[in-house]
Structures are given as C-alpha cells and as structure tokens.
Amino acid sequence: MATMTMIKAINDAMRVEMERDERVLVMGEDVGVNGGVFRATEGLYQQFGENRVFDTPLAESGIIGTAVALAATGFRPVAEIQFSGFVYETMDQICSQAARLRFRSGGRFNVPLVIRSPYGGGVKTPEMHSDSLEALFVHQPGLKVVIPSTPYDAKGLLISAMRDPDPVLFFEPMRLYRSVKQEVPEGEYTVPIGKANVVKEGNDVTLIAWGAMVPMAQKAAEQAEQERGISAEVIDLRTLAPMDMETILSSVEKTGRVVVVHEAVGTAGVGAEIIARINEEAILSLEAPVLRVTGFDTPYPISSLEDEWLPSVARIRTAIDKVLDF
Amino acid sequence: MIVAELKQEFETLQILNPDGEINEGQEPPELSDEELKDLYRWMYGLRVFDQRAIKLNRQGRLGFYAPMAGQEACQIGSVAALNKDDFFFPSYRDMGAAMYHGLPMEQVFLYSRGQKGSGQIPEGVNMFPPQIIIAAHVLHAAGAAWGFNLKGEKKVAIALFGDGATSQGDFHEGLNFAAVYNAPAIFFVQNNHYAISVPLEKQMKSKTIAQKAVAYDIHGVRIDGNDIFAVYKAVKEAADRGRNGEGPTLIEAVTYRLGPHTMAGDDPARYRKKEEETDWEKREPIRRFRKYLQNKGLWSEEWEKQIEQEMLDQIAETIKKVEKMDKGQITDLFEYVYTDMTPDLKKQKEAYLRWKEETK
C-alpha cells in the first residue's frame, strides 16, 4: 500500500499497465517530456521512451482519429484530451468512428481505446475547461463512460478501462486530483466497469452522484443525519455507461426517496436518464418525486460565480428536505 | 515567386496519353503482359460492374451506390501497386479498389443494400468499412501507418478520398500527423473536380491539391488520374518511399466521374456542361489503355466481350445470392455494439423478443 492522490493513482495505473502490456501507448498534448499539464503522465516518457509515450500535434481530432486506427490495428492507446471542453473538436472521431467501428464492421475491428480527460468545476479555470459533458457520451451507443471519485477507484477503474476491448471515456474530476490522499495498493488490481459503489449505507433517502459531487453528497448526507436524524444512502455511480441499475434500484426500493446530484447542466443530463429509469422500474417504491441538483442550464460560468453555480452542500441539503417532507 | 515555383513542381505527370501512346521521355511501369492484361481486366470489369450496378439500383435491387465510371485508373491503379497486407481506407466511392484489394463482391452488395453483414470485412482483407464521414479516414490512414512504424513492419496505409475532402480539418490533421511521425501513409485524392455540385474552385484557391504537401513538407505529386501508368507509378513510388522510412505522400490524381455523384437523385446536368463531359469522355482511362494494349497485340474485341460476360455472370450470380441471404433481425444489431453485451442491451433485446412473442 502507498498513500496516493488521485493524480498519482492515475499515473500509477498507466505505469502498471504499460509495464504489463507493451501494446499500451500514451498519447496527447504535453503528455511526454512534460508529463502532462496535471502530471498525470509524469515519468512515463522517461521510463518507456518515445515509442510508447507521444506528444502529439495540438489537434484533438487528430489525436483520437489516429488512436482509433492504432487501436483497431493492435495497439491499446490511452489518449488524453487536455481538458474535456476541447472534446467537441473530436466528436466525430469519438462518436462516429471509435464508438461505431465494431458495430459497422460486424465485429471485425475492435477499438480498445481509452480517452482520458480532466473535467469538472471548482478550480477556477478559464473558459471551456471545466464543462461536464458526460451526457453527450452516455447518449452514444458503443461507448463506456467512467468517472472516478477516489484515488483507489481511479487506479482500479483506469486499469479496467485499459483492459476493456471497447472505447472508454475516462473523465477525471480536476477538483479531486490532489484534494484527498488514500491508501492505494501497489501493482495491478481492477475495479469493475459498470458497478456502482455504495459509499455510505442508509435507509431514508438515496443520493446518487459521481465525480466531485460524491464528497459533496456525502457531506450533505452527514448534515442531514446530524440535523434531522435520518439515514442517507450515498451511491457513487462510478460508471455512467453502462449504468448499474441493480444497485440504484435496490437502494430506491429500500429508501423510496432519491436525489440525483451532478455538475453538468440539468436538461437532458444523465440525471434525467436515471430518473426515467427509476420511473420505469421502481415507481411503486417511490414516496416522493425524484429530484435533481445540477448545474443551471447556462454555459459553464465565469470562475467568480462557479461556487454558486455548482451544486453545493446547501442545495443538496434542501433537496433532501424536499423529498423527505413531500 | 513561390507560386511560380509551385507550378513548376506540380506539373501533371502523364505517361499514357489519351491516344494510348507513351509520352515522349516517359516509360511505362515494368509490368509483364499478363500483369497489363490483368489491370485491363479489372478496369474494364469495373466499368461493366458500374453500369450494371446503376441498373440494379434503378431496379431497386441495390441501395446506396456511388458511381465510379471514369475513375477506373484511380480505383485499380491505387491498390494494384500495393500488397495485400497493406492497409486500405476507402471512402464510399471506392468499392472498385476495395474489390481489387480483396473485398468480395457479395460484401459490396450487402453494404449497398444495408443488409446483414454490411461492413463486415472478412478476416485477411486489410481495410476498414467504407467511410461516409468525409476525410475522417485520412486520420485513420495516418494512425495505421504510424502503427506500422512502431511495429517495425514494412507496410503502408492508403486512404482514398475526393477533392472535397481536402477542405476538411481532418485532411489537414491527417497529413500533419503523418508528416510529424514520418508515417508511411499514402493520401490519394481523386480530384474529379466536383464535390456533388460544387466545383473545385469553390473548395480552394490553390492551383493544385498536390501543392498542399508543401505545407507539411511531405512528398506531393500531381498525376493524370485517367492514366493507369501514372497512377500505378505514383503509388508504387509512394509505397517504396514509405517502406524505406521516407514518410507520407500526397497524390493528386486528376480525373472525372462520368456519372452522377450517387444514385440518390443527383443529376450532373444541373451543374456540369455537356461539352465538359464530352471533353472528358475523350480522356477517360479505359479507351486509352485499350488502344495501348491493342497496339501491343494484347487486346481483342473477343477478349473484352469475355471480360464483360464474366463480370455480368458474376454480378448476376452474386446479386441472386445476396437477395436470398438473411436481411437481418433487429436482435442482430445488439451483438456488435460492445464486445460483451451490456445489461441494458440484453434487457432491450429480451424485452423486444417478449413483445414480438406477445403480439404475434
């Protein structure tokens, strides 16, 4: 065991897999000599050399487009998009090419590609760095979407993503990169893709969150317990596609009350999908409507307003009261 | 001054002129009589294929189809100079090249008809399914070629696309990546002067497409795309350069599609002058190659009839076979989205089957 931040755990995951599997390539803007703008790839270039770790030209479509073909012809690329807001530059290569090649070719070609990208608010970035765009990819058949919230999960999920035969979007909450340290096993281990984690058990209300919203939901749950004596269950979804409905439904059936929390804007966000599924499969268990606490339907705000814009413990707390008092 | 230099550098290479003669100072590629005849068999066969495919489309027996007539030298020459283990990235108009590279005709028809197995490239045929998103596959060729370098394999990757594709960002990114990584990619532009109805001068102000190679400091050539020898030579040299570690090549093959853009209602009479079409018909690739072979005593009318008959027989047999094949079920679709079907897809598939059963 070693104590690691999330960024270190992510770095460790890539190192472990690169040592194990020589097909793994790391590519992106500034991932080589520089070790990444967040140091996620630090030391990999020095350890594995220029034939495994590539600084690419500054062109997102180029990064993913070349990675698609590398993946389909025998490599296992881990491509970095420097900030998730830049992902629009390569939407075609992700959603029309990577996501669909297996389907289009009737299984002849696989795309074992991981796309890593820092995302999420709370660190006062300039424009178009912090947007939460996961819903765009959850909406695209053929992709898997993973978002860790702890160093342990980050390493285990990233190793799983790198071993997955299909394309995985791996969004890393910037705000959590260095905010917590955790005991993380050395060497290889996996956390399964498609499995949520009940980070806190409870009986009265279910909070569903991912990424940087998980610690927020946990704090809101603790407050609600102290102030109202209720017990809240907190689910860290971890994988958004495919979604672990089993864990969600068994919690909903137990508590009958649900609040979904995400940073992304509300309309047609992943929260809407979760609520629709709960409606379809567990309406009779519900004691109250399922509420969402999300970003507002505006572009990501100027940094001086982001703390107000992002779901806060206080807003989550209010939503918990609403579903309890319905 | 620079423009003047470019003009010099990117003169159009023509070996076999429209009269079927070798231009002065040029040499045809070193090909045996049998190889020459094989090229002609493919090119003429493709012309027959195209005419028949258009008819089958009109009869509703084929679906999506992008005619190739006029571009046979590009279609066959581009892949004839390569090996079967080189990797081919076609656009939707490149079914001729795909068949030469090993894609069974059956597969071409399945794709056109949108039938089960559509796009299912057989093992051992080294190509991606035809690319619909213009220029997306320029990057794939760059990526695959880069991979050959990493693996130390002496293979090349070739992407075929049209003049319109050169306006796309992915065209630029693809050439740029291949240049930076010195990847053995061949970017083969079939400049047929029109992207549907939009003429080349509305795509770009540059005099040639080949000159765009200058921006990447890669090798660029402009050739007569209706001259099978020029196409063959350019691709052969590009492949040799790639295999020798000399990086990518941009080839601009100047050609002309004799038919419409696709069979989905495009009418070239709306945007092309009749005189222009007649003029290009005189320069089309098969006529001149036929003359060349005739002069060498390698062509006869009888032989051509035989090629035609063989192609028509193969088409008839294949279309009949394909029409009898499984059209596919909704449930098939679930199989290929992921390597392991997700719980959601399993559920949707089961729910659909239950619904089918209940509403029978």
Strands A144-146 and A168-173: parallel
DSSP 8-state secondary structure symbol assigned to residue B62: S
Q: Does B199 touch chain A (CB under 8 A)?
A: no
Q: Which of A80, A72, A94, A62 is nearest to A11 (CA)?
A: A80
Question: Which of A108, A145, A270 best probes binding to B when mutated, by most B CB atoms within 10 angstroms?
Answer: A108
Q: Does A45 touch chain B (CB under 8 A)?
A: no
**Out of B123, B144, B333, whose CB is closest to A69?**
B144
**Cα B86 to Cα A115, B81, B144, B258, distances in angstroms:** 27, 10, 10, 29
Mean predicted confidence (pLDDT) in B18-32: 97
Q: What is d(CA B14, CA B288) in angstroms, rounded to the nearest whole number?
A: 12
The answer to whether A62 contacts B338, with C-beta atoms less than 8 Å apart, is no
* Pairs from B336-342 (Cβ < 8 Å, separation ≥ 24): B336/A102, B336/A103, B336/A105, B336/A106, B336/A107, B337/A102, B337/A103, B337/A141, B337/A142, B338/A102, B338/A142, B338/A144, B338/A166, B339/A102, B339/A110, B339/A165, B339/A166, B340/A165, B342/A194, B342/A241, B342/A242
Contact present, B174 and A75 (Cβ < 8 Å): no
The answer to whether A51 contacts B133, with C-beta atoms less than 8 Å apart, is no
Q: What residues contact residue A49 under an 8 Å CB cut-off, 6+ apart? A: none
Predicted local distance difference test score (pLDDT) of residue A145: 98
- Is pLDDT of B106 > 90? yes
Question: Which of A51, A52, A73 best probes binding to B when mutated, by most B CB atoms within 10 angstroms?
Answer: A73
- List pLDDT tens digits, range B149-172: 999 999 999 999 999 999 999 999
Q: Is the pTM of this model over 0.95?
A: yes
Predicted local distance difference test score (pLDDT) of residue B6: 65
Q: Does A166 touch chain B (CB under 8 A)?
A: yes
- Is pLDDT of A182 > 60? yes
Predicted local distance difference test score (pLDDT) of residue B1: 47
- List pLDDT tens digits, range B189-200: 999 999 999 999
The answer to whether B173 contacts A69, with C-beta atoms less than 8 Å apart, is no
The answer to whether B339 contacts A75, with C-beta atoms less than 8 Å apart, is no
Banded pLDDT at B265 (limits 50, 70, 90): confident
Mean predicted confidence (pLDDT) in A132-154: 98
Contact present, A135 and A264 (Cβ < 8 Å): yes
Cα-Cα end-to-end distance for chain A = 46
Contact present, A42 and A68 (Cβ < 8 Å): no
The complex's ipTM works out to 0.96
Question: What does the mean pLDDT of chain A come to?
Answer: 97
Would you state the torsion angle of the CA atoms of residues A301, A304, A305, A311, taken in this order, to the nearest 10 degrees? 90
Q: What is d(CA B250, CA B258) in angstroms, rounded to the nearest whole number?
A: 24
Mean predicted confidence (pLDDT) in A76-95: 98
The answer to whether B338 contacts A104, with C-beta atoms less than 8 Å apart, is no
Residue B271 catalytic?
yes
Residues of B in contact with A65 (CB under 8 A): 136, 138-140, 142-143, 170, 173-174, 177
Predicted local distance difference test score (pLDDT) of residue A62: 98
- List pLDDT tens digits, range A251-299: 999 999 999 999 999 999 999 999 999 999 999 999 999 999 999 999 9
Q: Does A242 touch chain B (CB under 8 A)?
A: yes
Question: What string of DSSP letters covers B182-229?
Answer: T--EEEEEEE-SEETTEEGGGT-SSS-SGGGHHHHT-EEEEEETT-HH
- List pLDDT tens digits, range B73-102: 999 999 999 999 999 999 999 999 999 999
- Is pLDDT of A58 > 60? yes
The answer to whether B180 contacts A104, with C-beta atoms less than 8 Å apart, is no
